[in-house]
Amino acid sequence: MADAQNDLLKLLHETKAVSIWDRKTGPVFWYAASVPGPFYVNTELVIGPALADKLLKAITAIIAETKDPAQRAAKLNEIILGEYKNSDTYRRVIAAMVEKAKSEFPAGSYDLVSGGERRDWLFSIPFAHELGIRHAFLFKDGSIYSEQKFQPGEKALHVADLINNAASYFDMWFPILSKAQLDCIGTLCVNSRGSNGVNRLTEHGCKIIALNAVDTGFFEKSVASGLIEKDTLEEIATYFTSPKQWAAKYLAANVALFGVPELDGKSFERLKSFFANDPWSLKSEHKDFFASMDAEIAKRAKA
């Protein structure tokens, strides 16, 4: 098990499934809450960045072009399992998930595996295939599909890429399973990030098993394995202790670290929101910096 964990640790860094910003050159990462941070989690990249991109594009096309549920599921299985069988890295990730599931969710404790549109399927489909168990496709339109009919009261293990705030569980996956009269006994994911989603799921009575938690311990192990430098750990530890303190120490002295002219549209909108709303109350202590950023934002908006 230790070897599998070390293998996963290396994979997460090598594939940029967990990526850390370069504080000397930037740019910083922007999160959905319109706040910056020093690292970003794109769990799907752990199977290989090029492969993840290829499969997600194929999944999007299949959903858009194929309306019949059975044909859609068949195409999704074909493209995902076809690539899975030909990728050693992909198989290693799923093998680690299968090994973990066997120790945490005993055989017979669940009847099927569920996975949600889109990223979950990269993991739930091959996971179900390896265990020889039914797979239930959960779609964002609220529908569910499996080759075999469900029986009321059957139990599902939900397999996912990442638990962050768990919004998709409560907004989509739990309601879909409940409507189909299926019980969710727990969830298995590759990464968990932060405590918010984990706490929400635990309070809901959902058993949570993650191969890896992206927390201080993860970065400490990364230092011990020679994957990151100690000063990187010190910075991230500062961020976990106080995002405001981290921003004041590592961001508020250098406008260039934000890379405003080159930001993608989504990140630029998040940056604008951050400097307009000042959620960490930094402006009073860094007025000149905020003024400089406002000028950069205005310049980008006119470009």
Last residue of a domain, one of 214, 248, 268: 214
| Cα of 100 vs its chain's centroid, Å | 19
Do 195 and 83 share a structural domain?
A: yes
pLDDT at 166 over 70: yes
Q: Is the pLDDT of residue 4 over 80?
A: no
- Is the Cβ–Cβ distance between 164 and 193 less than 8 Å? yes
Query: Do 179 and 108 share a structural domain?
Result: yes
Average pLDDT of span 126-145: 98
- Identify whether 27 is preceded by a cis peptide bond (ω within 30 of 0): yes
36 and 177 together in one domain:
no
The rounded mean pLDDT for the chain is 96
Q: Measure the CA–CA gap between 169 and 27, rounded to whole angstroms.
A: 31
- How much is the pLDDT for 240? 97
Does residue 49 share a domain with residue 166?
yes
Question: Do 148 and 189 sit in the same domain of this protein?
Answer: yes
The total number of structural domains in the chain stands at: 2
Other Cβ atoms within 10 Å of 202 Cβ, number = 13
Please tell me whether residues 209 and 223 are part of one structural domain: no
User: Do 59 and 196 fall within a single domain?
Assistant: yes
3-class state of residue 207 by DSSP: strand
Residues 169-222 pLDDT 10s = 999 999 999 999 999 999 999 999 999 999 999 999 999 999 999 999 999 999
Please check the confidence at residue 238 and state whether its pLDDT lies above 70: yes
Token pair for residue 111? 């009847």
Range of the domain at 193: 44-214
The residue among 196, 203, 271, 209 whose CA lies nearest residue 37 is 271
Q: Say yes or no to pLDDT of 137 above 60.
A: yes
Q: What single-letter amino acid sits at 3? A: D
pLDDT band at 303 (very low <50, low <70, confident <90, very high): confident
Domain boundary among 160, 182, 214: 214
Assess whether pLDDT exceeds 80 at residue 109. yes
Same domain for 257 and 292? yes
210 and 190 Cβ atoms separated by less than 8 Å: yes
Q: For residue 2, what pLDDT is reported? A: 59
Tell me: do 83 and 196 sit in the same domain: yes
